[in-house]
Amino acid sequence: MKSLVQKIKDAFTEMRDDIVVIHSEKGIEPFKKPLLMAAPALLILYGAVYGPSSSRLQEKQIEAEHLEAVSVHYSEYNDMQSRKAELRRKMPLAKDKGEWLSYILTSTSKSQGITFDALTAQEEQNAGPLLLVSRGASVVSTYNQIGLWLAEIENSKIFLKVTELQLSRSTGNRDLIRATIKLSTVFPKEAAQGEEI
């Protein structure tokens, strides 16, 4: 095996040496005719081996058309992704779904000096890719305190809405008002089940 490789190596070395000797004695003249005859054959062989076949060319054209179609809507896609990320930042974390509304109701009412008469059970309903979660509460306080409390809730950085509100005068004290509210928020449904949207 080694001798065959060595023989091929020696043959190429001898051929190279012959070409160098001929070129140094006679110049390029003896090589013109063989090069002119071999050039078209080499070009055809190169084109067949390295040139794109019609199926590869068609694939590349289809890929270019897809990239062109995507590039037309790329900025719109980026805008949608940034809006989606902004909305996700305004949603509460899915892991807190169970008691998050209770925490919001109690912490905001405590900051305004309001105590609850009643707190209803949490309701959940499907809304497409989101889960709408609501919880009701009933409080008795002054009109001013209730207004500040509702303003604090609705001005939250996280998406919260008072979806129902009923106000009535308190029967025991005419200066107090009874407010019954329903507070709602949304959670990503898939993320609530442990998957990413």
Q: Over range 20-40, report the average pLDDT.
A: 84
pLDDT in tens, 120-141: 888 888 877 788 888 999 988 8
Residues 182 and 136: beta-carbon distance below 8 Å: yes
How is residue 192 written in tokens? 């609530």
CA pair distance 75, 98, nearest whole angstrom: 38
Q: Over range 24-39, report the average pLDDT.
A: 84
What does pTM read for this prediction? 0.52
Residue 175 dihedral angles phi and psi, to the nearest 5°: -80, -15
The pLDDT value recorded for residue 164 is 92
pLDDT band at 182 (very low <50, low <70, confident <90, very high): very high
Residues 108 and 147: beta-carbon distance below 8 Å: no
pLDDT in tens, 138-177: 988 888 888 898 898 888 888 888 899 998 887 777 788 8
